[in-house]
Amino acid sequence: MLKHLSAAHAPFTRFFGYGIVFGLSLVLGSVLMAKVPYENEQIEARVALMNTQKTALSVLTDMASGRRAFNKRHARDAKNTLIETTKGIKPHFKHIEMDAHTLARPNLWTNWEDFELRAKNAQRAAKRLNPRSADTLRQSLPAMIKGCHSCHERYKLQDREFTTH
């Protein structure tokens, strides 16, 4: 009887255990988020947008390199995320917002049209991602990665620690 009961409870206990871990990671996540010292929500939001695209992109690079098994549905989801996030770049950077921690270079606002163009090119590359197979993904990924880099090399500081001002 006792054995039976505890067996019946096992899935619940396991679920509960996962719940705690998940809950903890949420709490930890928000503590970490709260520590991000951006001065305003717009900067926070644009960095969050960028981190979302980083996560989506790494799903695809992991699949292309074989670090992660190819999965068409996940690849398609990541592609759709990248289409949306690259579309979001322009509205997220529309206003001139700087603080002590941002990696955005202020010249992006004095070269706004060029910045927009690079955002558009990145979006085009996102649309052209081909998640049909690992092979087609591998072929279409370099243009996407180039789309990210081409803007970063012009409008993003590599790292605050290495700047000299």
Place of tokens 């995320």: 81
102: contact with ligand HEC by CB under 6 A: yes
Q: Measured from the CB of residue 143, what is the shortest distance to ligand HEC in angstroms?
A: 11
Site stretch for ligand HEC (CB under 6 A), options 1-9, 26-34, 49-57, 59-67: 49-57
Closest approach of ligand HEC to the CB of residue 156, in Å: 4
For residue 86, the minimal CB distance to ligand HEC (Å) is: 6
- CA-to-CA distance for 93 and 66, rounded, in angstroms? 34
Task: Give the C-alpha distances (Å, rounded to integers) separating 83 from 27, 77, 116.
Answer: 30, 10, 15
- Judged by CB under 6 A, the stretch of 2-10, 23-31, 43-51, 67-75 that binds ligand HEC is 43-51
Closer residue to ligand HEC in complex, CB, 89/137: 89
Q: Render the burial of 4-19: b for 16+ CB within 10 Å, e for the rest.
A: eeeeeeeeeeeeeeee
Residues whose CB falls within 8 Å of the CB of residue 66, separated by 6 or more in sequence, listed in order: 134
Is 57 an interacting residue with respect to ligand HEC (CB under 6 A)? yes
83 token code pair: 């289409």
Does 151 participate in binding ligand HEC (rule CB under 6 A)? Answer: yes
Is residue 75 close enough to count as binding ligand HEC by CB under 6 A?
Answer: no
- Interface residue with ligand HEC among 46, 64, 79, 131 (CB under 6 A) is 46
Q: Maximum Cα–Cα distance for the chain, whole Å?
A: 75
User: Which residues contact residue 107 at a Cβ distance below 8 angstroms, ignoring those fewer than 6 apart?
Assistant: 154, 155
Which residues make up the interface to ligand HEC (CB under 6 A)?
Answer: 43, 46-47, 50-51, 53-54, 57, 82, 89, 102-104, 108, 115, 118-119, 122, 147-148, 151-152, 155-156
